[in-house]
Structure 1
């Protein structure tokens, strides 16, 4: 029942296809989210953004810790080498408090559903990001009245996105993944080049933003920092997994470094551009400079490569778990698989065209998927694993209940704020 094959690692757990199984593709936990951090700080305010991002980084590391530790416990109990995230939650709910028993049969479906939506949501972000960055370069060379609408740039990317989504062997994308990582590092260098010189007075920026904007900040930051897929994949492939956890383990040190980088990017970008900051800091670069134009196009290429890698996960989940079992006698399995890949690309385009604003789609993906995947389900898992021994004063139970409440509040408040932003966007477009 509990297979440990590489394919099931990729299709049943929250992993990214960038570092799964025995693949040598480099893991990436820094993507478009970091370039949106300055805009997130605009919503939270400078001081609130710095403190909140540090706290969200700590929360993220802690939740991943309890998730992996709980999976260790379940593997030992069942004497298996690996349990995927959906399997872990199902088995834990079966052995936990009675209130979770009825949820157990549906746990794999629910986790996989959120994972599919999350990964396709990332692909939606990529569609908007690539199109907006190329458009920013093209607009400089066109008269204002002749500028091409963003939707046409989206359609320009459709065939390339579909083509890379049709790559069935991830090894073919490995060299391109290295190129994408190199471009990412170069992009950060260019960001520093534009951000650090000529900074205005630090005290001119508000310490706190509007309370109604905070859920959008939270969604963007959670989208940027939440790296459950990457860290679980790395942990599954470590020669000495015990070094992954612990106060000074790979996870805590890695998340600490990443969190500091994200705080720095958000603070410096907002400090430099203030209220003029855009959904991606690259869109604030001087449009007339060749360096800015080059980096916008290069990073769009890097994100394009990542589209195929991120899209691999939902395709494999849907195909392996839900579609292929129904096509056992079909002679057209390959055709159906490519139809699924085409459908996933079309779906990402429908959302991207409906919400073509980068910061809104990032917040939407963050607040809808990550409170359940990254906070609620790990808390439920630890409750079930530790049941009925929750320690002195049942503090572990209280702590996990608070995490579940936090995830629900973040989900509801975030969705409310995102819906208001979408309504405001529609009204502005219709004026």
Structure 2
């Protein structure tokens, strides 16, 4: 990502026309959430789709990327989400939240397409879309264009760093359960977090995506095997529905919403995937890449969440793999494979926000010091992440907290604001129904943030007693 100065309204003429000379954008890699195409200055109507890379990803490739990014630790947390919601309420609200998340991604991508035409650029990332919407929006809002870009960039970085902390807790908890039980140890999970930091320090130093490909391939194989083993244990005994509540106590509902939003939201991946397509018109629409991916994800999440909660009941944990029987070689294999898969995925999870951060600060250091600064920066961030993970070693509320804060803001609140600003004031539909809809989405996001954060923090302070 390039640090271009945002347009400032001080030089704007009195009329409300958009700036005639928007700032230029250099070519950037897809992983930094920004566009990979140069700003163009063409006369006449501009079609961004005609200026995409003809060698870009196909619709099938884009679908594979979206599914791969969605089917990770989130799906393993869905049984815990149903525990906090109840069978009927959890099933219905999973569908509703899935619809809302899909809608928010849809309006973000649609707005990005529209602002690309106005700005005459082939593609824009999430942060750039927010910036351009304000820059070309109502005159009173243009001064906030740089703030919008920085807010999204910082939010995406924080989201990925927080998710990396969740990864550390998950890896350590998996090894803790297996090793402590099999060897009769009583080591605290924080010891395993400290040991997890060591391989993360090495994996986190990888700065070339192609070196992460073998890790991702092995991780995908391990995840498929883990899912197969988990499904085996889910059906190895008759499922008992009788003791499962249809609706959970109201105090648990915020944790459900926070967990489901964490599981489903892949907002940081959507724009890079869409920007990489050679035919972006196939991303939206019916069926479209987005709808196909989200329908698949929502159905899988609902089924795994429902059946996983029915199978393990109130003992369900932050990842269903942690409920597999201790001492059983097959269960232990699944736990360890998933832990190693997440460890291998850590490199990619850490790579993305670090690239964004480095592009923001690299100009502050002389080129001959870049290598050493990168090593120290990555090491410091990983050590801090390990410290945060050790401070919050309870996986369940940690997942809920990350979902409540970051994914509520970036996945629901920001897309609704971006669409509203772009449509303001005379394109908001009959009786301004889009404004009303986006206000309701914003309220839901803020309520999910407040209630989910409060419930998660309360559970961290007053953890449940475990057997």
Name the SS of the counterpart of 1:108 in structure 2. Answer: helix
- Of the three residues 111, 125, 128, the one matched with 1:84 is 125
Name the SS of the counterpart of 1:197 in structure 2. Answer: coil
2:182–2:327 CA contact under 8 A, matched in 1: no
1:4–1:82 CA contact under 8 A, matched in 2: no
Alignment deviations for residues 82-108 of structure 1 (CA, whole Å, 9 cap, x no partner): 222112112212333466444323112
Please list, as runs of the form range in 1=range in 2, the aligned pairs for 1:32-43 lying within 5 A after superposition.
32-43=73-84
Alignment deviations for residues 245-285 of structure 1 (CA, whole Å, 9 cap, x no partner): 01211110110011100001110110001011111111111
Q: Distance between the aligned counterparts of 1:287 and 1:347, measured in 2?
A: 31
Listed as ranges, the gaps of 5+ residues in structure 2 are 1-22, 37-54
- Of the three residues 109, 120, 131, the one matched with 2:150 is 109
- Of the three residues 139, 143, 157, the one matched with 2:180 is 139
Instruction: For residue 179 of structure 1, report the CA deviation from its aligned partner.
Output: 1.4
Please list, as runs of the form range in 1=range in 2, the aligned pairs for 1:401-420 lying within 5 A after superposition.
401-420=439-458
Root-mean-square deviation (CA), in Å?
2.1
- Of the three residues 379, 387, 395, the one matched with 1:358 is 395
1:14–1:115 CA contact under 8 A, matched in 2: no
**Counterpart residue number, 2:321:** 282
- Residue 398, structure 1, aligned to residue 419, structure 2: no
**Counterpart residue number, 2:410:** 373
Alignment deviations for residues 129-187 of structure 1 (CA, whole Å, 9 cap, x no partner): 111111111122233xx421111111111120010000011101112211111211111
1:29–1:230 CA contact under 8 A, matched in 2: no
Q: Distance between the aligned counterparts of 1:132 and 1:261, measured in 2?
A: 25
- Of the three residues 8, 17, 25, the one matched with 1:3 is 25
Name the SS of the counterpart of 1:396 in structure 2. Answer: helix
Alignment deviations for residues 346-391 of structure 1 (CA, whole Å, 9 cap, x no partner): 1211211111011111111100101110111111111122122211
**Taking CA–CA contacts closer than 8 Å with sequence separation of 6 or more, which of the two structures ends up with the larger relative contact order?**
1
Greater fraction of residues in helix: 1
1:4–1:81 CA contact under 8 A, matched in 2: no
Q: Distance between the aligned counterparts of 1:22 and 1:325, measured in 2?
A: 31
* Higher Rg: 2
Instruction: For residue 13 of structure 1, report the CA deviation from its aligned partner.
Output: 4.1
- Residue 184, structure 1, aligned to residue 223, structure 2: yes
- Of the three residues 131, 146, 165, the one matched with 2:204 is 165
Q: TM-score, normalised by structure 1?
A: 0.92
Listed as ranges, the gaps of 5+ residues in structure 1 are 16-20
**Counterpart residue number, 2:39:** none
Q: Distance between the aligned counterparts of 1:147 and 1:276, measured in 2?
A: 21
Alignment deviations for residues 65-119 of structure 1 (CA, whole Å, 9 cap, x no partner): 1000000001000111122211211221233346644432311211111111100
Name the SS of the counterpart of 1:288 in structure 2. Answer: coil
**Counterpart residue number, 1:382:** 419
Instruction: For residue 233 of structure 1, report the CA deviation from its aligned partner.
Output: 2.5
Q: Distance between the aligned counterparts of 1:55 and 1:351, measured in 2?
A: 33
Instruction: For residue 3 of structure 1, report the CA deviation from its aligned partner.
Output: 3.0
1:133–1:297 CA contact under 8 A, matched in 2: yes
